[in-house]
Amino acid sequence: MIRTSRRLADGREIVYYDVDGSTAARDAPDPRDLPSVSTHSQLRWDALQGEWVVYAAHRQTRTFLPPADECPLCPTRPGRPPTEVPESDYQVVVFENRFPSLATAVDPDVPPAAPGAPYALQRPGQGRCEVVVFTSDHDRAPADLPVERLRLLVDVWADRTEALSGLDGVEYVFPFENHGEEIGVTLAHPHGQVYAYPFLPPRAARVVASIERHRAETGGDLFAEVVAAERGGPRVVASNEHWTAFVPAAARWPYELQLFPHRRVPDLPALSGAERDALADALRDALGRFAHRFDEPMNYIAAWNQAPVRRAREDWWLHLQLFSLRRAPGKLKYLAGSESGMGAFISDTTPEDVAEQLRATTW
Amino acid sequence: MIRTSRRLADGREIVYYDVDGSTAARDAPDPRDLPSVSTHSQLRWDALQGEWVVYAAHRQTRTFLPPADECPLCPTRPGRPPTEVPESDYQVVVFENRFPSLATAVDPDVPPAAPGAPYALQRPGQGRCEVVVFTSDHDRAPADLPVERLRLLVDVWADRTEALSGLDGVEYVFPFENHGEEIGVTLAHPHGQVYAYPFLPPRAARVVASIERHRAETGGDLFAEVVAAERGGPRVVASNEHWTAFVPAAARWPYELQLFPHRRVPDLPALSGAERDALADALRDALGRFAHRFDEPMNYIAAWNQAPVRRAREDWWLHLQLFSLRRAPGKLKYLAGSESGMGAFISDTTPEDVAEQLRATTW
């Protein structure tokens, strides 16, 4: 993999990733006149829930959005206004979000607590938000990318994880993809994101607590027990030499798959070459099942659950969580009172049924 | 308040609530021929998240739904097919959901764990799900109900809380309302629900843990500190003699209000008559602000956060959480990768701005 780091007109980093042997120079300058990025992101502690909430009020005034008919993720091509990517073609490209929720350069003078609420601690919203563009082809769905491109993407995610894990104050690196208009995705061009959080996000924090509680109560190793049980269990959907995809025993979304590597690793950078090859295959299979379960491709969120940067790394087990809010053709699961109000998920199906459906999906 | 309990054709309980002095007999029989309700609801333990998930697969086959043009919550009137409510008129009526997520009569022979996954403990989905119909007027929005009706509704919620708290195995009683088509509400007739859970739902469990952690770390009383700070703070939206409505310091939804009584009580049954009167006024004010913030009424979820039935009752402080996913006219906040995948909420506004907007809302 060839990695070429450049700067955009406003100082943001852009990194081109090309497979070995590529000869493109990746040196096109950004011709735009952009104001420098300013962020006033801050965190507040929700004392009753015991969770950080991010406030990125500067995102309300996104004044430099491109016109709706011009995709900012397409390459910059002659005769059209320049996009976020100066090159006229690329394989995979990553750049800092122009309106990030978390940023390396933040106002350091955040008061220690919210106005009038000493328990609502505040911190600067330090971190980084990146956009990962999967292909220069605007109309290619991720499920239809060639396996070689998915293989490159695995290397990119691993590289971004290493790079962002090294930034000051970053506690968690989260590569993810939101896919589908019906869940609010406004840019059709195939892309994902990477968030580097300055705190342990609630889901990861709950997993760490569960691991510790399980060990204290049973002496057991929770992730090892889950992987051992599910690899041979009734909810397996697909597997190859290095990965197994299964519907988790207590799935909460209408469609949900978890992909675990057979060897315990904390995060993407720890995967071997052979494991990365097998992941590209497993990913193509999983995305294909979601795309073909119904006549229309399902919306989905693909979420990499990596070990925290500084905690519980020995106890963790890397996995991808792939889930959809589509419960039937044209029908979404809405998170209403029980889910959004109380956090109690109610499913109208069973994980075993869903596994059977996804196993039977062909294309 | 007059409380009249009857049975529907399939054995479900229906309870009519009328203000004192009403003379209607509420003795109309249910003329329908309904099969008895059967539920196979069960709970599974999500070992990695440390949360129960409810599976109600029987809800998939809801074979007795009324035709789309016939509202099942309207009174039963001559010349039209019978609805869920046998009476030809009513004030407030409560009945057991015909397709409940949780039920008193459940299959007791649930295996102790999910197939092949010993850590995914299972229990019967014991509990109760009720529908609360606010008025016989199909077209009346809750925000436009007369204050006397809201006052009756407060008594109804309190009565249901007492009744459901007394059921075997119930750990938490949750009155709530989902409002608005854009969040998936299919029945336009004004109504809410009450869920009686056989476990502490995740949000309530996190609050209990936060109270205990705060006391251990600071010696303080978290709810008392929150109410003292917010009552005089910059995020107050409205208040009366017994209630204050404020945007919480770490609000996570685009619009969010919490209503706290000034006197510490664990739940709705503990409210005095004067506090209930003042709540009806405060509720009407809060719903009005949500209805008139934009030209079109906002969708919302209204969620009563009561003390658990058997835990932390001295430490709790009853409050209503009222929140909307509407972030601007025609625009919803979608819960995407950060929120749905990692539980990390990102807000494009600040609680202080939202408080200012809701304070300035008039109608």
CATH number at residue A248: 3.30.428.10
User: What is the rounded distance in angstroms from the CA atom of residue A221 to the CA atom of residue A211?
Assistant: 7
Q: CA–CA separation, A208 vs A215, rounded Å? A: 11
Length of chain B: 363
A144 and A260 within one domain: no
Q: In whole angstroms, what is the distance from residue A171 CA to residue A187 CA?
A: 28
Residues of A in contact with B111 (CB under 8 A): none
A interface test, pick of B42, B48, B130 with most A CB neighbours within 10 Å: B48
Residue of chain B whose alpha carbon sits nearest to that of A52: B344
pTM, 2 dp: 0.96
Q: Which of A144, A167, A198 is the last residue of a domain?
A: A198
Q: SS3 for B330? A: coil
Residue A314 CB neighbours (<10 A): 9
Cross-strand pairs, A326: A332
**Which two tokens mark A140?**
């290619």
Give pLDDT, residue B70.
87
A to B CB pairs, distance under 8 Å: 274
Residues A248 and A173 in one domain: no
Nearest-angstrom CA–CA distance, B325 and A184: 12
Determine the distance in angstroms separating the CA of A260 from the nearest CA of chain B, rounded to an integer.
14
Query: Which amino acid belongs to residue B14?
Result: I
Q: Which residues of B touch A343 (CB under 8 A)?
A: 51, 201-203, 206
Measured between beta carbons, the chain B residues lying within 8 angstroms of A321 are 341
Regarding whether A215 and A146 lie in a shared domain, the answer is no
For residue A162, is pLDDT > 90? yes
3-state secondary structure B27-66: CCCCCCCCCCCCCCCEEEEECCCCEEEEECHHHHHCCCCC
Q: What is the pLDDT of residue A65?
A: 59
Same domain for A166 and A153:
yes
Q: Encode pLDDT of A242-296 as tens digits.
A: 999 999 999 999 999 999 999 999 999 999 999 999 999 999 999 999 999 999 9
Place of tokens 């209990």: B208
DSSP-derived secondary structure for B228-294: HHHHTSTTEEEE-SSEEEE--TT--SSEEEEEEESS--SSGGG--HHHHHHHHHHHHHHHHHHHHSS
A48 closest CB neighbour out of B56, B210, B346:
B210
Say whether A193 and B352 touch across the interface (CB within 8 A). Answer: no
Which chain A residues touch B248 with a CB distance below 8 Å? Answer: 46, 48
Q: B324 to chain A, minimum CA–CA distance in Å?
A: 10
For residue B360, being part of any structural domain is answered with: yes
Q: Which of B191, B242, B292, B319 is catalytic?
A: B191
One domain for residues A172 and A220: no
Domain boundary among A198, A224, A244: A198
Predicted pLDDT of residue A134: 98
B236-239 β-sheet, strand order = B2-7, B13-18, B92-96, B128-133, B191-197, B172-179, B300-305, B319-324, B255-261, B243-246, B236-239
Interface with chain A: mutation pick from B62, B119, B354, highest number of A CBs within 10 Å: B119
Q: Quick check: is A158 in a domain? A: yes
Measured from the Cβ of residue B118, the count of other Cβ atoms closer than 10 Å reads 13
Last residue of a domain, one of A163, A198, A233: A198
For residue A50, list chain B residues with Cβ-Cβ distance below 8 A.
206, 209-210, 213
In 3D space, the residue among A49, A167, A8 whose CA is nearest the CA of residue A102 turns out to be A167
Residue B14 in any domain: the answer is no
Across chain A, mean pLDDT equals 94
Identify how many contiguous H helices and E strands chain A contains and give both numbers.
6, 18
> Are A17 and A117 members of one domain?
yes
Residues A192 and A212 in one domain: no
Q: Is residue B1 part of a domain?
A: no
Among residues A131, A251, A233, A226, the alpha carbon closest in space to that of A187 is found at A131
Q: What percent of chain A has pLDDT above 70?
A: 97
Query: Do A210 and A159 share a structural domain?
Result: no
The secondary structure of A34-84 as a DSSP string is -PPP----EEEEETTTTEEEEE-GGGGG-TTPPPTTS-TTSBP-TTS---S
Q: List A219's β-bridge partners, or say none.
A: none
Query: Cα B61 to chain center, whole Å?
Result: 24
Q: Answer whether residue A99 is part of any domain.
A: yes
Chain A nearest CA to B20, separation (Å)? 31
pLDDT tens-digit profile of B186-230?
889 999 999 999 999 999 999 999 999 999 999 999 999 999 999
Query: How many whole angstroms separate alpha carbon A157 and alpha carbon A130?
Result: 11
Residue A123 in domain:
yes
Show the domain range for A304.
203-360
Positions in chain B short of pLDDT 50: none
User: Is residue B264, in this structure, part of any structural domain at all?
Assistant: yes
Taking residues A311-321, report their average pLDDT: 97
Residue from B104, B95, B135 nearest B38 by CA: B104
* Cβ(B147)–Cβ(B281) below 8 Å: yes
Tell me which chain A residue has its CA closest to the CA of residue B212: A48
**Are the beta carbons of A119 and B48 separated by less than 8 Å?**
no
Please determine, for residue A83, whether its predicted confidence score (pLDDT) is greater than 60.
yes
Beta strands in chain A, from DSSP E residues, in sequence order: 2-7, 13-18, 42-46, 51-55, 92-96, 113-114, 117-124, 128-133, 172-179, 191-197, 236-239, 243-246, 255-261, 300-305, 319-324, 326-328, 331-332, 346-347
Which residue in A265, A261, A102 sits closest to A194, CA to CA?
A: A102
pLDDT in tens, A27-57: 999 999 998 877 789 999 999 999 999 999 8
- Report how far residue A345's alpha carbon sits from residue B101's, in angstroms, rounded to the nearest whole number: 10
User: Pairing mode, if any, of strands A51-55 and B346-347?
Assistant: parallel
B257 in a structural domain:
yes
Residues A93 and A123 in one domain: yes
The domain tally of chain B equals 1
Residues A189 and A237 in one domain: no
What's the order of all strands across the beta sheet hosting B51-55?
A346-347, B51-55, B42-46, B117-124, B113-114
Does the annotation count A292 as an active-site position? no
B49/A204 touch (CB, cutoff 8 Å), yes or no? no
Indicate the residue of B213, B249, B336 with minimum beta-carbon distance to A184.
B336
Catalytic residue among A179, A189, A191, A319: A191
- Predicted confidence at residue A104, as pLDDT, reads 86
Amino acid letter, residue B6: R
Residue pLDDT, tens place only, A166-208:
999 999 999 999 999 888 888 899 999 999 999 999 999 999 9
Q: A189: which 2 tokens? A: 């061009």
Q: Are residues A167 and A293 in the same domain?
A: no
Residues A140 and A54 in one domain: yes
Nearest residue, CB atoms, B117 vs list A210, A230, A343: A230
Provide DSSP, A179-198.
E-GGGT----S-EEEEEEES
User: What residues of chain B lie within 8 A of the CB of A344, using their CB?
Assistant: 51-52, 54, 195, 197, 199, 201-203
